Structure 1
Amino acid sequence: MATRSVYALAAAGIIEACRSTGDSRSLRRRILEVIRRAVPFDAYAWLMTDPETSVGSAPLADVPCMSELPDLIRLKYLTEVSRWTTLGDPPVARLQDATGGELARSRVWRELLHRYDVTDIASTVFRDRYGCWSFLDLWRIGDSGPFTAGDADFLAQAAAPVTEALRRSQAETFVVPAPAGRHRIDPLVLLLSPELVVRALTSKTQAYLRALVPPEGGRAPVPAAAYNVAAQLGAVEAGVDMSAPMARVHVADGLWVTLRAARIGESGEAEFVKVVEAGGC
């Protein structure tokens, strides 16, 4: 458990990190480095969200189950325990605390994360009067031990300055207008199975997916933003959350796109995800 001085130094570090400029991805990386000094973690998933719908759009993650990413996202949206859309004051929840130590009450843990020896998750939402800008899950795995009340208090106190910084990073994307000729793009379509497996996509979709979530090492782009929108559709159909399955996300150079999901057919054999150019948040 961190001492008061460690929490205080990290809190000052977060304020300093939030003052710096840059895109939301680099900002989140800097803040994670500071958080780790006071609240160690073994894995994380930090998503920007559409401020109106709270649907994830621009993920930054390092988790041990990347090979099962579609299932992770689908189950995350179907899980009501510690769901970011239900967090308010405080804006932090610890899975061990929320379940009374019965982690199986969490669907994503029961159906997936228990196989990765996840022992606790600290969830934080970054929301203000303008909307929900982001949510962060920090994981403890194996013998790391659960998050403490002190950890939760530290994350709760950090939420306000981090929220302001994330909102500012999004606003700065409108300072530079999109280059001429890029104000409109052709509709881009992904066809996903109910398990969020890509069945088909239009020719230009892959290039935009690469811009949305830059892959490492020349790997094929992962349609994580599309997974999130489709997963929200599943949450709506299951009655877990009623926000629209839609997210607006900045691609590059002032260009924003909107992702939407809808079901094809009555039987629900596939998801239809359309990406079109959109205005700002």
Structure 2
Amino acid sequence: MRTTTGPDLAERLRAATTADLDREALAQAVYRAVAAHVPFDFACFATTDPATGVMTWASKTRSLGVGDEEWSALEYGAPDVNSFAEIARRNPPAGVLSIDTGGDVDACRRHRDFLAPRFGFTDELRVVMRSRAAPWGAMALYRGAGDPPFTAGDAEQLGAVSGLVAEAIQRCLFGRETAPSAAPGDGPAVMIVDAADQVTHLSPAARAAIEELGGWDHGSLPANVLAVVATTRARAGFAESRTQSVSGPWLSLRGAPLDGAPGRHDVVVTVEPTPRASLSRLALAAHGLTAREEEVALLVLQGADTRAIAGTLHLSPHTVQDHLKTIFAKLGVTSRREMTARLVLA
């Protein structure tokens, strides 16, 4: 495999992600930067809900000609080697399949039953993009026959830029005014997904919602919907995620089993505008606010003045003002009114 000279990976990523990028442009910038240091045959890049870790949007370096039903079932189903959920807890949050299985990559069900037989991949490197312990995204790299396996040094390089890419994702999602949540169509958006991940019932609004969530992929539901369906089945209970739609507004996906039993049961999925409070916390966390700063900011967004905030949080008015100064600096605003306009929480 080729090597590179010149800027290190962090420098390349900083230079490539300073512009105002949308999600796909950000993914392409990350692919190019990473490929200069850790060559790969195929890669995928995803954003995730920082509260649940569920994938909310995905990009691939090329089409594999299939939807994401199998991948979602394996990723969010029974425990497996190097799941994104497990890697997110590591420090650094990265792992190489050939190393973590001691060379027995078939010990990983995902590799044995899906990646190797379907696509001929021989090794996998995964990294979770983490900020303040929350997963904002993830990336997986793959090599095929004739390529050497990934190394511990490769994983170390990607793990070292996890936070940098997480911050780029946050800027991508919240660097501009947050789009107000809006319903994807008239009436409730509801769909029923059967055990084969096929839609059996679909409301008109749900049809519009599917397009807003990324559209059909080789006849399959969008990956973010399939991720919620698979998570619902794995838990035999409620699952949810929040994602920015194609046109900008934020949508919340919620799944629930129809029969409550574990396994490949039918799942009902609803799609609704993301609640104001939920979007507020997500936006504030994306700007690096501490838990206390979030509390102060949320009270400001509710219209509370300094005295009311101080009384509610048992702080002195002076401490509240100090928090506000820090909050304004992190959000890039100079006043309460500008902060409210920036977050667009109507």
TM class by shorter chain equals 0.7 to 0.9
The aligned counterpart of 1:85 is 85
Name segments (4+ residues, structure 1) moved above 6 Å.
none
Determine helix, strand or coil for the equivalent of 2:47.
Answer: strand
Kindly report which structure 2 residues correspond to 1:254-269, keeping only aligned pairs within 5 A, or say none: 254-266=248-260, 269=265
**Rounded Cα–Cα distance in structure 2 between residues aligned with 1:191 and 1:66:** 24
Tell me the equivalent position of 1:236: 235
More strand by share: 1
SS class of match (2:5): helix
Q: Does 1:247 align with 2:241?
A: yes
- 1:211 maps to 212
Equivalent residue of 1:32, what SS?
helix
Aligned position for 1:150:
153
2:128 and 2:139 in contact (8 A); partners too? yes
Letter in 1 for 2:80: E
Do the aligned partners of residues 83 and 266 (structure 1) sit closer, same or farther apart at CA in structure 2, a change above 3 Å counting? closer
Q: Which residue of 2 aligns with 1:30?
A: 29
Per-residue CA deviation, residues 60-102 of structure 1 (Å, 9 max, x unaligned), is 1246644252112211222431111112201110111111111
Whether 1:163 and 2:159 are equivalent positions in the alignment is no
CA contact (8 A) 1:209 1:221 kept: no
- 1:121 offset after TM fit, Å? 0.8
Cα distance in 1, alignment partners of residues 93 and 216 from structure 2? 30
**1:5 and 2:5 correspond:** yes
- In structure 2, the partner of 1:277 is 273
Letter in 2 for 1:28: A
1:117 aligns with 2:120: yes
* AA aligned opposite 1:212: L
Unmatched 5+ stretches in structure 1: none
Asked if the contact 2:209–2:271 (Cα under 8 Å) also holds between the matched residues in 1, the reply is no
Residue 21 of structure 1, CA deviation: 1.3
Tell whether the 8 Å contact from 1:71 to 1:196 is kept in structure 2 after alignment. Answer: no
Partners of 1:214 and 1:172 in 2: how far apart? Answer: 25
Say which of 121, 129, 140 aligns to 1:126. 129
CA distance in 2, matches of 1:215, 1:40: 30
* Higher RCO structure, 1 or 2 (CA under 8 Å, sep 6+): 1
Higher deviation after alignment, 20-29 or 131-140: 20-29
Paired position in structure 1 for 2:300? none
Structure-2 change in CA distance of 1:236 and 1:65 (3 Å): farther
Aligned residue for 2:17, secondary structure, equals helix
Q: How many residues align?
A: 270
Contact 1:188–1:204, Cα closer than 8 Å, also in 2: yes
Taking only aligned residues, the RMSD between alpha carbons, in angstroms, comes to: 2.6
* Contact 1:43-1:64 within 8 A present in 2 as well: no
Q: CA deviation at 1:183?
A: 6.1
* TM-score normalised by length of structure 1: 0.85
Is the contact between residue 260 and residue 275 of structure 1 (CA under 8 Å) also seen in structure 2? yes
Counterpart-to-counterpart distance in 2, 1:22 and 1:68:
26
Matched with 2:74 is: 75
**Are the aligned partners of 1:189 and 1:274 in contact in 2 as well (CA < 8 Å)?**
yes
Q: Do the aligned partners of 2:254 and 2:270 also contact (CA within 8 Å) in 1?
A: yes
- Percent of aligned pairs with the same residue? 24
Distance 1:94 1:275 in 2: 35
* Counterpart-to-counterpart distance in 1, 2:220 and 2:175: 25
The residue type paired with residue 19 of structure 1 is T
Cα offset, 1:252, TM superposition: 4.6
Contact 1:18–1:161, Cα closer than 8 Å, also in 2: no
